A and B are shown apart, each in its own frame.
Chain A
């Protein structure tokens, strides 16, 4: 809402207040002023008259002017095509500061120029308020303009400052200059003067108004005859311009002017174009509607239309029809001031793309009880400016009863809510300033009658807000709440998640944040855990962000790709995020390792491989106290080209696949521009881990006897998994083998193809000293069994 300080001043005493002070006052009362700007600016301006106009000797478009400035005559070089002898103009003298810079004495192609003749554009007036003539040449002042007048901005009505108010959804009443004036009056305790006008009826109209829909609760109309459509008076044009509206003609301008002042949109019908004197609101039409702008719009049930003989003459609150539009020839009109349901106007105007000052006022909410008053005001202006002489009675349909809204209040409850110590007198004073009627009651109690324009007030909490926003939050005493002592803190699952994240950071992985929305196509790629039933948006902004993701991996691979493109080829990335599908909601962990092991020994680079990722997973389990016997890795099988079939695995916990990990498939690497780099990925559902039961570790006794170590090397077929060899060793350890660990796997020279050499370190022990015989017996047994089970060739 643009508010002209000059216009505002007509309705509230602003003596001694600067525009900035008013802006600050409004802002701290909850009405944010986003900007204070000048309509136009310029110093050293004067009104002059061109007394000579010669062509410049050295140019085909410049003129050399002699301009009478009242006290003196100056020579000015001017390029405007409309410069001519006799014309009265705005002159910026040498030294003038204009929005575009300072005017200096200059020589233009050899001719001295003592100033500049200006267009309004050059004084900073927005081009949208100017016509083509005004933007293509210098401003042409009327012939009665006073030569020598130096208050040029004042003469032009441009000596004004504009406050740009941000109107929040609770205060649609402030889309009215009158109500802004009341607000400013309350804030600064200043006198407010809102004039009321009325135009007495001098004939009875046949106009019938009504509504057949609850979407139109009130409809007032009046017939006015013998008006003349012409240019608006200067004051009205200036007022409209200062509040951001272009002048069209007197009748259209009066509609806009009244709306800006009162907040009530008006509509005018050419009475002679209607089939009969009837305006009925309906909302059940399915028709093609030809509007003022000559476009055809599809009207559907739910849209409010104003009908005559059941034919739509106006799209209520949105736009009139071409058929009954007011034009230069219009003599007789019906004027409408109605109340339309905001939601319905919102649906209509946004569906048809017809958003206007009127429609947005209905959308936000209007005063339902000021129709007649506003019509009276408009009538007065029409009489004054349009020469109309016949004013009918005002006819009104009103379905809603005017009920006074009374709020019961109590001083101590208000102070209790605010944390303040205001007296009853202070509170009542503030409310009176805001045009609330207050009835004092016993003790702290009082009753407040809410003015009809305040649609946002319904209870005591709202009244408290009125008090504090006018008196100021500096009165609120800052006190920490004294609450029962209790243990806050993270829940078990929250602290487990925090621990996992911190442990990954401590291992040098970088924590990422990516978008939850993916394209349809990408949402199904790398969905390793096969989460089904994605949520899909009805109204996405782009195809790229249409589906709520159920996995992180795709996003993190994009991050890897982004970084590799920027020559950062060693990456260790992770993200934890909440995933949602139609069937589940769970916290996921995703890890992507690319290139060489990061941040370790920079001089001995180690490429990431499957086992790094396996370590990450095992660490997460260990961190949460989940023993290795409770989970396992199984080979991952898939027919998609997403992971390397030989270098991938499922993580199985509580008999469920909770994670999938492995090296990226070479084709997938190519897709992300990661070809030739090691890329190891993991997607894991953390939910089972966050919820897992973990028992306390009971200490097991530590043997006093040292362990004996024996190494074993064997050659087996490549496909045999070491874990099976170790299981076999442990199973046949006669209770003496405490541990068996692989410490080397070798393929290549000296080993036949399809075979590998595996070296295992075995620790033996018992409660007592082991004898050589015991050791030999166990080792012989193990060797025998390994040979039997794996056809293993032992090398010792």
Chain B
């Protein structure tokens, strides 16, 4: 009779467990079937009234049922918990298209992008970076660079003067003289990026302030071939492997021979187009072999040492590279302009 009763309870418990849909309901069932005062447990307390031979079998049976009900409840609980978690997570779904919380890198005036990049190219070739004042003496800006007083070349560069002997440097070349004087006759391999000033009215292609990167190598047995190879390497790193360079004779008082360096036009690859005015080439920098007078004046014996020097216009490179149409844009710092450029790794 009890056995029948137990089976009935078992079936009822299993039914109710499987049909329950909340963990609250399961808690109720736990109490209903497994609490001390439940029907099942009350049967357990009546075990003592049974004859010993039945007591054992009955006890075993009761424990089995209790264990199975517990297990069923536990399984059901897990099932429900899982479902509830899924439901909760689903309700927490976010709109992944909303803006991120990153810290955006700052925009960088392309002037600096180019300046740093050129600097790094030469640093990797073993150059050091030298530095010199923007307010210069006539001595360093002109005299020591083989441009004596009243030299016609002074007309090439209209100069801002502070006094008869002080001026705003018109090029970064005075750093050549500073470096030579400091190096005291030892070999030199430097570049010097810096601001320069000329008395030009500002317009789309002229600026009273602009910047150059000066390069200077002095050692024994340096020749134009070394200049050519160094600049070739620079041009390929800066403008791409396909760019070629071409040297044209020119004139600077502090180099002899002097050259203008052209690179093959990026937009037509050398065939000739409107950007290069049909020539296939674009002028990007000037250079040459350091003039023996300059070596001599700055403490080097031109019979023992020779060297090459070059000057690159930073804005000019940026203008060519990024197609910037007006040099004044560099100095306006419109954030919509700055934010088009960021430092690349």
Contacts and interface: CB of A to CB of B under 8 A. Distances in A.
Interface of A: 27-30, 32, 168-172, 342-343, 346, 363-365, 416-420, 459-462, 464-465, 468-469, 473, 476-481, 483-491, 494, 498, 501-502, 504-517, 535-541, 545, 548, 559, 562-563, 566, 568, 571-574, 578, 580, 585, 598-603
B13 to A, nearest CB: 49
Contact of B107 (A461, A483, A511, A602): A511
B85 to A, nearest CB: 28
B248 A27 contact: yes
| Top 6 A-B pairs, shortest CB-CB distance | A419-B225, A30-B249, A343-B150, A465-B257, A419-B223, A469-B249
B246 interface: yes
A479 B224 CA distance: 9
Given A536-B162, A603-B98, A505 B123 contact: no
Given A172-B152, A459-B292, A537-B160, A580 B133 contact: yes
Interface in B80-137: 98-99, 101-109, 111-112, 116, 122-129, 131, 133-135
A37 to B, nearest CB: 14
Nearest to B231: A478
A237 B229 CA distance: 51
B209 A468 contact: no
Given A169-B251, A535-B162, A538-B162, A483 B152 contact: no
B211 to A, nearest CB: 9
B145 interface: no
Contacts of A168: 250-251
Contacts of A461: 256-257, 289, 291-292
21 contacts: A28-B248, A29-B249, A30-B251, A32-B248, A346-B150, A418-B257, A461-B256, A473-B248, A481-B222, A481-B226, A491-B129, A510-B108, A512-B333, A535-B162, A537-B162, A548-B162, A566-B334, A566-B336, A571-B335, A580-B134, A599-B104
A28 B201 CA distance: 31
Given A516-B195, A541-B199, 13 more contacts: A168-B251, A170-B153, A170-B253, A364-B152, A418-B224, A419-B228, A478-B228, A488-B125, A513-B109, A538-B163, A541-B201, A566-B336, A572-B106
A602 B123 contact: no
Contacts of B155: 169, 346, 363
Given A416-B221, A483-B219, A508-B105, A585 B251 contact: no
A773 to B, nearest CB: 45
B233 interface: yes
B150 A603 contact: no
A483 B334 contact: no
Contacts of B129: 490-491, 494
Given A511-B338, A562-B333, A599-B104, A169 B223 contact: no
A504 B246 contact: no
B101 A601 contact: yes
Of A461, A513, A516, chain B has the most CB atoms within 10 Å of the CB of A513
Contact of B230 (A480, A487, A510, A566): A480
B251 A505 contact: no
Interface residues of B, number: 86
B243 to A, nearest CB: 14
Contacts of B123: 488-490
Contacts of B187: 483-484
A418 B161 contact: no
B143 to A, nearest CB: 15
Nearest to A504: B106
A538 B128 CA distance: 35
A533 to B, nearest CB: 12
A505 B336 contact: no
A506 B229 contact: no
B332 interface: yes
Interface in B131-173: 131, 133-135, 149-153, 155-156, 160-163, 166, 168
Interface in B279-335: 289, 291-292, 306, 330-335
B331 A515 contact: yes
The prevalent SS among residues of B at the interface is mixed
Contact of A602 (B99, B112, B208, B229): B99
A512 B333 CA distance: 6
B259 interface: yes
A476 B247 contact: yes
Contacts of A170: 153, 251, 253
A473 B233 contact: no
A234 B177 CA distance: 55
A509 B99 contact: no
A268 to B, nearest CB: 27
A483 to B, nearest CB: 6
A505 B105 contact: yes
A539 B199 CA distance: 9
A702 B104 CA distance: 35
B94 to A, nearest CB: 13
Nearest to A460: B292
B209 A516 contact: yes
Contacts of B199: 539, 541
B189 interface: yes
A334 to B, nearest CB: 30
A480 B219 CA distance: 13
A541 B224 CA distance: 39
A666 to B, nearest CB: 24
A512 B223 contact: no
B333 A573 contact: yes
Contacts of B209: 515-517
Contacts of A483: 126, 187, 189, 217, 219
A453 to B, nearest CB: 16
Contacts of B250: 30, 32, 168
B132 to A, nearest CB: 10
B27 to A, nearest CB: 38
A634 B161 CA distance: 40
A545 B208 contact: yes
Contacts of B257: 417-418, 461, 464-465, 468-469
Contacts of B292: 459-461
A487 B129 CA distance: 12
A578 B136 CA distance: 14
A573 B337 CA distance: 13
Given A169-B251, A480-B233, A510 B339 contact: yes
Contacts of A342: 150, 152
A464 B168 contact: no
A409 to B, nearest CB: 13
B258 interface: yes
A607 to B, nearest CB: 17
B106 A169 contact: no
B271 interface: no
A574 B162 CA distance: 28
Contacts of A498: 116
A559 B313 CA distance: 24
B150 A505 contact: no
Given A512-B333, A516-B134, A538-B161, A419 B201 contact: no
A568 B336 contact: yes
B197 interface: yes
Contacts of B125: 488
Contact of B149 (A343, A468, A548): A343
Given A515-B209, A541-B208, A505 B289 contact: no
Nearest to B110: A513
A339 to B, nearest CB: 15
A67 B289 CA distance: 66
B333 A559 contact: yes
A173 to B, nearest CB: 12
B310 to A, nearest CB: 13
A673 to B, nearest CB: 15
Contacts of B135: 535, 548, 580
A342 B232 CA distance: 39
